[in-house]
Structure 1
Amino acid sequence: MQKNLFKGIHIYNYCHIYSGVRMSYIRRFLVFIVLLSYLSCTPKKKDPLEDIFLFLFLNNLLNSQVAPCSTPGLPDDPLFSQQWHLKNTGSTSGSISGEDANITFASNAGCKGNGVSVVTVDDGMDTSHEDLSPNYDRTLDINFGGSFFNSIDCSTNGTAGCHGTSVSGIMAARDTNGIGLSGIAPRAKIGARNILANSTDANSGTAMSSFSNGVFVSNNSWGAPDNTGRFAPSGNIWKSGIDSAFRLGRNNLGTIFFWAAGNGGNFLTSANTGGIVSAGSAPRDNSNQDGQANYRSAFAVAAIGNDGKKASYSEEGANLLVTAHSQGTSGVAISTTDISGAGGYNVNGGGTNFSSNNYTNTFNGTSAAAPLAAGVGALILDRNRNLTARDVRVLLARHSRKNDPSDPDWTTNGAGLNFNHKYGFGAVDASLAIPAAQSWTNIGPEIVTGNLAGSTTNSTITNNTPAGAVNTRVVSGSGIGKIEFVEVNMTVNTGAADDSADLFIELTSPSGTKARLLVPRICTLNNALSFCNDITNWTFGATIFMDEPANGTWSLRVADVCNKATSVGSNPLVCTSNTLYGYSRSDANFTYTRAATINNTNHTLSSWSINIRGRAN
């Protein structure tokens, strides 16, 4: 009996070494063989320990979470050489060799997303595409209706691009099939949920939570309107849906939600505003103002180019988790799948684009960065199925790469982790994340402090006073030795004759780490210049404090850092770096001229509270 049993163990290890067979099937087959061998043995006397040993072995065989067998090696698809975001040789304009998602280790280990299911929540997907159909799983779909290019399978006629088709290819285009290109997780199963066809709050909640047991990773390259400078709240049903799936999806391990940080990070100058910004440059959007990318159950992803530096459009924020590659300042975009035939982004199949209309090399934005990070998430779960969604967040924070290392915004938090408001904890790197996943020990149960009211003793925010109003909250007895996410809810009244454009908000942890929650900005409404709306019951999210202890004194500084100088015919909002009290950078210098009359009034901090999420150790 023992001889037969160890023969089964030998076959099991053989599958770890050699590839091509799905482990879920080989496990069942091996269990059958072992049981058959056992039953065929009929000794007159049997050691009862054999039954126990057999049970333990078979249980381990059926439930082992070691990665499935898969064909090792980098993809050999015809267009793979154009996918610099997967393997950057330095051949594209402005690129740095090795500035990519670093998939070599994963590919050589045969870690390609086998057995992992991902969904593209977007405008649909060309489900019959030659490079997507092999991985397509219709059971993951939700069809919210809509017309033409918002249909679940995306029409192949016309000229509009099917955004979700390109997003899907970055994640899970099939590799090594002699056509096209490869996704970063080319053996993952993929489905589509066309929320952009009818993005009500109820539908958004459904897109997050329905059939979540079968969804390992959800990519969301959609969200708040860009380039407004305004706060964009998320709906309560959406919050409930994403929270439920984050906790209970994937059989209580949690669905992982990657979210595009936003494309409103371009700085406005005199040249691109017709003189409205008369000096320097000013930002519009911050990812902390996006009610979805800023939310606790979403992993916000920023964008960098092939040189590893911030893409101009990518939004900054204390909420960012990681960054991933997309089109940057060099103008070199991402190669991925496009609608089959004449539709989509590659209409003519000529010029600098691919000759095949089924693919495009022009996809960009944080819309392209998010699925690249999501694909790394799929590879992580390929390697270790036992990880919770919370585990993956902490793992990525600890095991991403410090890109653009000379950027002055890099700081080391109280737990020794590097963070940058442009990049989060750095660029996703499969060769760092996957070995970490294999040896990962799951983190402990979540502890939540609940909303702890902060002091408003210093409630008046005096105009043009960089020191601002500083208020504190002492946290004690929380039981949180390692923070995972911090939420700060607040209401700031600006008064009828003023707006929130000149406010700077900063939260400092007991460890001394500073999170910039809001910076001065310019706002538009319906494509016209406007006041920036008040901060009313808004919750800012922050990952920057990852792994720090929660107990101690937290400080919130809200400051009016700009001077509104009234003059004839104009009313400039003047911000200079020396008025930003520690936020010193050249792109903070700007003069914004508006025709409206605006008084220099004080603001009032009406209320604020802090909610800390983490674990004991």
Structure 2
Amino acid sequence: MIAYKRSKGLPWLLACILSCAICVYNCQEQLTDHFALELLDNSDISVAKEIAKKHNFDLLHHAQQLGNVYHLQHRSACKSNHTANQCATDGAALIRSMLSHPRVLRSIHQVAEDVEKRHLDIKEFLRNLADGVDDKSDDSSEESRAIDKRREEIEDAKIYKKALSRRHLDLIVNDPHFNLQWYLHNTGQLQGINPGLDLNLLPAWNRGFTGSGIVVSVVDDGLDPSNPDLKNYDPLASADFNNLTRKEGIPIRSGPLTMEQTHGTACAGEIGALANNSFCGIGVAFNAKLGGIRILDGVVTDLLEAYAILHNNQYISVYSCSWGPRDNGLVMDMPKFYTSKALQLGVSKGRGGKGSLFVMASGNGGKNADNCGADGFVNNPHTIAVGALNIFGRTPYYGESCSAIHVSAPVGGPHTPNSKLPDYLVTTTMVNGGCFKEMSGTSAATPLVSSCVALALQANPELSWRDVQHLLSRSARLPSSGKGDPKIQSWQVNGAGHYVSHHAGFGLLDCAKLVFTAQTWPGVTDQIDCRDAKPYRGKFRVPSRKPLTLPFDSRGCNGTLKRLEHVLVTLTMQGMAMRGAVEIWLKSPAGTESRLLGMRPKDKDNRVGIKNQTFLTLLNWDENPAGRWLLQIWDRGGGGRRRGVVTEASVQFLGSSGARLPPVSHRRARWLTPDETTAAFRSQRLASAAQEVLHPELATLSRRLHNALVANGNGSGGGDLTAIVNEARRVVSKKGVTDEDLKYLLRQIDSAL
């Protein structure tokens, strides 16, 4: 990225030298014909138009949320027939010329970001099934027998319907492939495999939490609302940033659609596929409003990423992002300037200041020995990184590991790449009105977590973005039974009692537990940003055959920070024989060990190194930071005298003052009894009715009624509940409620008794 910010008094000769030096580096990157132009705050659009006309630009967009930023596209520079050197030279000249204008603050030449959709390559998967050898390393004979038959032979809806009838589920399911959605509710319908290994979703549905009133947008390659399962499509939550000149229409490519454009539609179906429309399956939040933000169906730039995650952020609550830097084991990347700014703005200003929720896929680079510690999106404290598990509670072969994964969702995939043994994947929507039964990867896991977050926001709309992260940390559990054994997933118990793993984060998300805990969550205190551990600057060479150990001493900012959330380590390191041989660990005063970066044997880089990269660990969640932290950096490259040299290292602690929070529990959320189910549904209807007529007193009373019924637990009502209902009767008889409203509300009140 060629970027320069005006600095008063800097000689222009130095500016030119700097631009040229950056140009040499960026000749290796794919520069585009797009530029960001940032003006001083008191400059209006006429200045941008003047600069665009003078330098032969088209002005495409005014990114007001990012500041006084304009998106320009050049009419002749950096076209497809230009060489990389020519593009870099022309771009540097344009930037220098624009910076000569007194109203220009900054200009950034946009690079084509090396990102990809994080879905499992089904063609590759099927090739592995056809050409691979039996995996005998750790597949038990029981597993082999269980998944020996093809998926088409196990679609036995009778077993599933029988199980549902035992659970007193009021929701009548007529979607034909609901029985295949084992990850939503696993009764053992797939040949008896691992009943209970699922999202534990139905208890939340049983209490009426289905995403109603929450808006979730899928940032991807588009969304095809013509699919009969996507009738909750919301144009207000949608945008097409791959075509900035397009003023209206759905966010999907015009013309015939192929499987190449089905990714965003598939993710959307996992979130919001309609229930009981006799088609395909069901989405987790099937009553939520669905948006599609299209950026992946073309060249992706820093500006486009920033537009996407800020789009209509007072309306959209959750942004589901099943993509990230390429998972080839070679890339080490971080969000660029405007994307980083957009993430910060999103959590500070989105949802009326409560913060937008950005849910990100952790990556499918396990097949390339990649490590998500190298992914700056996953390692950003403002995102929620999601891992994947299969039906046995194990990490699939494509899963990456790092200390920044928050939770995992069950989506399937074999745990070794060459196994002939099929696994059970995700059923969802696709373009052209189809039903797709082969969705997997962390792309599939991310929408499931996004949906559960939507249910939690329905239960408690006042949750902040940090509240949601706390709830996720408390709502996960160890994957149940069989190969979900803690030893295999490398679980450790941190100093606050959380089970944590580099493979699965805090574990398998329990959606019902997340929702129920959200209802009574007290909220966390203001975030504390503590940087009291002295940083290292200089030259610190990594020794041979042992790590470079750098101690950091913290007092928790004089005891004000007592409950950790995020711990960030920022590092600059060069001189190694190969970057992929570097391994980074952090040990807390409580003894919790975090592998911030694992070895990545395909990354042979020996030129760029690690440049101001930030690594994140969540494994110290709720611990007290006070004490000595040990940062250990290994260089296992065997490069003789050529060993890595650390020039900068710092630690940042984010958390709160330690206000009392509910205790950590690893138990699965329980089902409601039939009486509890009936009472919860009735009170939920009453609350909905009150909101429809917008009567504030009645809305308050209905919420009290609902909470009392849920807390009471047996549906019997009692004196307190009767008093609430009688008070509600008095309210609806007051002036200001129409006769029609009164009759409707009285019917709802009577049904609640």
TM-score (norm 2): 0.60
Aligned to 1:8: none
Aligned to 2:395: 310
Give the CA deviation at 1:204: 0.8
Give the CA deviation at 1:405: 3.5
Q: 1:158 to 1:230 in 2, by over 3 A?
A: closer
Give the CA deviation at 1:146: 4.6
Aligned to 1:433: 514
Q: 2:596 aligns with which of 498, 502, 517?
A: 517
Q: 1:103 to 1:473 in 2, by over 3 A?
A: same
Is the 8 Å Cα contact of residues 257 and 432 (structure 2) preserved in structure 1?
no
Question: 2:201 corresponds to which letter in structure 1?
Answer: I
Question: Is 2:213 the counterpart of 1:119?
Answer: no
Is the 8 Å Cα contact of residues 170 and 371 (structure 1) preserved in structure 2?
yes
Give the CA deviation at 1:515: 0.8
Compare 241-250 and 166-175 and name the one that shifted more: 241-250
Is the 8 Å Cα contact of residues 362 and 372 (structure 2) preserved in structure 1?
yes
Residues 221-300 of structure 1 correspond to what in structure 2 (within 5 A)? 221-266=322-367, 283=369, 285-300=370-385
Structure 1 residues 108-145: Cα deviation after superposition (integer angstroms, max 9, x where no partner): 11110000000000000002211102x11101112113
Which structure has more helix as a fraction of its residues?
2
Q: 1:472 aligns with which of 552, 562, 582?
A: 552
- The CA distance in 2 between the partners of 1:72 and 1:430, in whole Å, is 18
Q: 1:75 to 1:494 in 2, by over 3 A?
A: farther
Q: 1:533 to 1:81 in 2, by over 3 A?
A: farther
Aligned to 1:194: 294
Give the secondary-structure state (helix, strand or coil) at the position aligned to 2:359.
Answer: strand
Is the 8 Å Cα contact of residues 228 and 264 (structure 1) preserved in structure 2?
yes
Q: 1:606 aligns with which of 625, 644, 647?
A: 647
Q: 2:185 aligns with which of 83, 87, 96?
A: 87
- The CA distance in 1 between the partners of 2:463 and 2:656, in whole Å, is 15
Q: 1:611 to 1:75 in 2, by over 3 A?
A: farther
Give the CA deviation at 1:158: 4.5
Measured on the aligned residues, the alpha-carbon RMSD in Å equals 2.3
- Unaligned regions of 5+ residues in structure 2, if any? 1-168, 415-421, 659-753
Aligned to 1:173: 273
- The CA distance in 2 between the partners of 1:241 and 1:213, in whole Å, is 14
Structure 1 residues 341-395: Cα deviation after superposition (integer angstroms, max 9, x where no partner): 5xxxxxxxxxxxxxxxx10101111000000111110111111111111001011
Structure 1 residues 562-603: Cα deviation after superposition (integer angstroms, max 9, x where no partner): 363xxxxxxxxxxxxxxxxxxxxxxxxxxxxxxxxx544232
- The CA distance in 1 between the partners of 2:172 and 2:612, in whole Å, is 49
Q: 1:400 aligns with which of 463, 473, 476?
A: 476
Structure 1 residues 325-344: Cα deviation after superposition (integer angstroms, max 9, x where no partner): 22221432110001125xxx
Aligned to 1:185: 285
Question: 1:102 corresponds to which letter in structure 2?
Answer: N
Residues 544-563 of structure 1 correspond to what in structure 2 (within 5 A)? 544-560=619-635, 562=636
Give the secondary-structure state (helix, strand or coil) at the position aligned to 2:509.
Answer: coil
Question: 2:263 corresponds to which letter in structure 1?
Answer: H
- The CA distance in 2 between the partners of 1:204 and 1:312, in whole Å, is 29
Is the 8 Å Cα contact of residues 403 and 618 (structure 2) preserved in structure 1?
yes
Is the 8 Å Cα contact of residues 575 and 607 (structure 2) preserved in structure 1?
no
Is the 8 Å Cα contact of residues 347 and 357 (structure 2) preserved in structure 1?
yes
Q: 1:337 aligns with which of 409, 429, 438?
A: 429
Question: 2:318 corresponds to which letter in structure 1?
Answer: V
Aligned to 1:136: 233
Give the CA deviation at 1:470: 3.4
Question: Is 2:439 the counterpart of 1:360?
Answer: no
Is the 8 Å Cα contact of residues 218 and 292 (structure 2) preserved in structure 1?
yes
Question: Is 2:307 the counterpart of 1:206?
Answer: yes
- The CA distance in 2 between the partners of 1:127 and 1:551, in whole Å, is 52
Residues 41-56 of structure 1 correspond to what in structure 2 (within 5 A)? none
Give the CA deviation at 1:229: 3.6
Question: 1:334 corresponds to which letter in structure 2?
Answer: V
The runs of at least 4 consecutive aligned structure 1 residues that moved more than 6 Å come to: none
Is the 8 Å Cα contact of residues 123 and 151 (structure 1) preserved in structure 2?
no
Is the 8 Å Cα contact of residues 413 and 513 (structure 1) preserved in structure 2?
yes
Is the 8 Å Cα contact of residues 453 and 608 (structure 1) preserved in structure 2?
no
Is the 8 Å Cα contact of residues 142 and 192 (structure 1) preserved in structure 2?
yes
Question: 1:615 corresponds to which letter in structure 2?
Answer: S
Q: 1:74 to 1:101 in 2, by over 3 A?
A: farther
Give the CA deviation at 1:174: 1.1
Is the 8 Å Cα contact of residues 538 and 647 (structure 2) preserved in structure 1?
no
Is the 8 Å Cα contact of residues 124 and 192 (structure 1) preserved in structure 2?
yes
Is the 8 Å Cα contact of residues 214 and 250 (structure 1) preserved in structure 2?
yes
Is the 8 Å Cα contact of residues 235 and 250 (structure 2) preserved in structure 1?
no
Aligned to 1:486: 567
How many equivalent residue pairs? 472
Question: 2:445 corresponds to which letter in structure 1?
Answer: A
Give the CA deviation at 1:418: 0.7
Aligned to 1:145: 242
Give the CA deviation at 1:456: 6.1
Give the CA deviation at 1:311: 1.2
Question: 1:171 corresponds to which letter in structure 2?
Answer: I
Give the secondary-structure state (helix, strand or coil) at the position aligned to 1:212.
Answer: coil
Question: 2:242 corresponds to which letter in structure 1?
Answer: G
Is the 8 Å Cα contact of residues 126 and 154 (structure 1) preserved in structure 2?
no
Give the CA deviation at 1:533: 4.9
- The CA distance in 1 between the partners of 2:637 and 2:476, in whole Å, is 40
Q: 1:494 to 1:422 in 2, by over 3 A?
A: same
Relative contact order (alpha carbons < 8 A, sep ≥ 6): 1 or 2 greater? 1
Q: 1:96 aligns with which of 191, 194, 199?
A: 194
Is the 8 Å Cα contact of residues 220 and 370 (structure 1) preserved in structure 2?
yes
- The CA distance in 2 between the partners of 1:319 and 1:93, in whole Å, is 34
- The CA distance in 2 between the partners of 1:500 and 1:510, in whole Å, is 28
- The CA distance in 2 between the partners of 1:230 and 1:468, in whole Å, is 24
Aligned to 2:165: none
Question: Is 2:402 the counterpart of 1:323?
Answer: no
- The CA distance in 1 between the partners of 2:191 and 2:384, in whole Å, is 30
Aligned to 2:102: none
- Unaligned regions of 5+ residues in structure 1, if any? 1-70, 268-282, 342-357, 565-597
Give the secondary-structure state (helix, strand or coil) at the position aligned to 1:393.
Answer: helix
Aligned to 2:656: 615
Residues 4-23 of structure 1 correspond to what in structure 2 (within 5 A)? none
Q: 1:216 to 1:603 in 2, by over 3 A?
A: same
Is the 8 Å Cα contact of residues 121 and 193 (structure 1) preserved in structure 2?
yes
Aligned to 1:537: 612
Give the secondary-structure state (helix, strand or coil) at the position aligned to 1:549.
Answer: coil
Give the CA deviation at 1:471: 3.0
Q: 1:453 to 1:207 in 2, by over 3 A?
A: farther
- The CA distance in 1 between the partners of 2:326 and 2:223, in whole Å, is 22
- The CA distance in 2 between the partners of 1:97 and 1:214, in whole Å, is 38
- The CA distance in 1 between the partners of 2:357 and 2:215, in whole Å, is 11
Structure 1 residues 186-245: Cα deviation after superposition (integer angstroms, max 9, x where no partner): 000010101113421111111111210111111000110012243112111111111111
Q: 1:157 aligns with which of 239, 256, 276?
A: 256
> Identity over the aligned pairs, expressed in percent?
30
Give the CA deviation at 1:94: 8.6
Give the secondary-structure state (helix, strand or coil) at the position aligned to 2:579.
Answer: coil
Question: 1:512 corresponds to which letter in structure 2?
Answer: G
- The CA distance in 2 between the partners of 1:117 and 1:363, in whole Å, is 23
Is the 8 Å Cα contact of residues 580 and 605 (structure 2) preserved in structure 1?
no
Aligned to 2:710: none
